[in-house]
Amino acid sequence: MASRTWNAFTVPGFRVVWVAGVLSTAGDQLARVALTILVFQRTGSPAWSAATYALSMLPALLSGALLSWLADRFPRRRVMVVCDLVRAGLVALMAVPVVPLPLLAVLLVLVLVQLAEAPFSAAQGAVLPELLGGRYEAGQTVQQVTNQLCLVAGFAAGALVVTGVGPHTALAIDAVTFAVSAALLRVALGPHVPPVSLPGDALASRWRRSWRQVAGGAVAVFGDRRLATLLWLGWLALFTVVPEGLAVPFAQEIGVGGGWIGVLLAAEPAGAVVGAVLLRLVSRRTRLRALGLLAIGTSVPLLGYWSGPGLVPALVLLFGSGLCSAYQVTAGATFVQLVPPDVRGRALGFARTGMVAGQGLGIVLGGLLAQFTGPATAIAAAGTAGALVALAAAAVWSRREPQAISAVLPAES
């Protein structure tokens, strides 16, 4: 079973999409963490630090609503290339030292750059099932493992940016990663025209209809109870992302800093890498049956923060949470395979919009709570709420007959 995971690399188009994703993910994390550290150094406020991190997620609510439908209207390669070029240009502008950093952090990197993320992700997500077929979940596992490794590397490097190469150099590197990704996709990937393209309209008409396109994605999801339950399981990440947004103030609370901030940020993604590899050792039916239990297990370790853990116990708790969070690979892959191809881009855009916006909201609320109770208590409260909601989601999933769902999915290859 584990050897099948790497069969995805035998598909040339997947290799192209994979490399492009690695480039942009690693560079983007470098910039995000550097900005978060800078804000906390200047304000000393957990709420502002968390808000800075969350601002890089919340714009997806607007972009997902207005722009994800582009993945079902234009060739998907074109959508991804244009989005990468837009992000490369904006981040390059922010890298100019004479431009005020706080202003550009809010107006460009944290808002305009993220507006291009939703259509890119929707197009990428719609292309992968076409490329991989029965190898889709294997490809998703590869994506999850490498993305988490990029997060580990980006977090670890980002924590040292302020005292190392500096924020402007980090942003310049980020811009280059987007540009290289765009060039690679343009040269080495086919156009991937949507199966049923949306009719052409004037630009103003497209913007007026965009909310209806998103509504179409929502209807496709909530019209199928299996998809709705999988969406609920995926959106549980809004609780377990709180330690990530509070890593900088938590490090100060326990008396560590510098590189240890990066280690705290990297612990959960490292656990997710191990979990994703371990899940590929068992059958898909077993993975589907375990979704609810693993969803609960993602939040339960955070209850340990009620005891005010030190550095090592906190790292163990975060690693355990990440280990269980690998269920998101199976939940996401199953969701995509069950969505009809002609609405896949819109359904993915809706799902990812909710996921990213929910995570941003969770971090903001966690930061506000940490302002009054301290970071450890805020993380523990998020874990408690997440465990309770996960229990309800797991109960619903157990009634969705995972075995029957497994039977209707394409055979793994």
Distance CA 393, CA 251 (A): 32
Mean pLDDT of the chain: 79
Q: What is the pLDDT of residues 120-143, one digit of tens each?
A: 877 887 788 888 877 777 777 787
Domain ranges across the chain? 2-196+205-408
Domain 2-196+205-408: state its class.
Answer: mainly alpha
DSSP annotation of 309: -
Angle (CA) 378 384 386, round 5°: 100
In the chain the first and final C-alpha atoms are separated, in Å, by 10
Distance CA 329, CA 322 (A): 12
Report the pLDDT averaged over residues 236-242: 91
pLDDT of residue 324: 95
Residues in contact with 239: Cβ distance below 8 Å, sequence separation at least 6, in sequence order: 299, 302, 362, 382, 383, 385, 386, 389
pLDDT of residue 1: 46
**Range picked from 56-70, 264-278, 377-391 for highest mean pLDDT:** 377-391
pLDDT of 238 above 60: yes
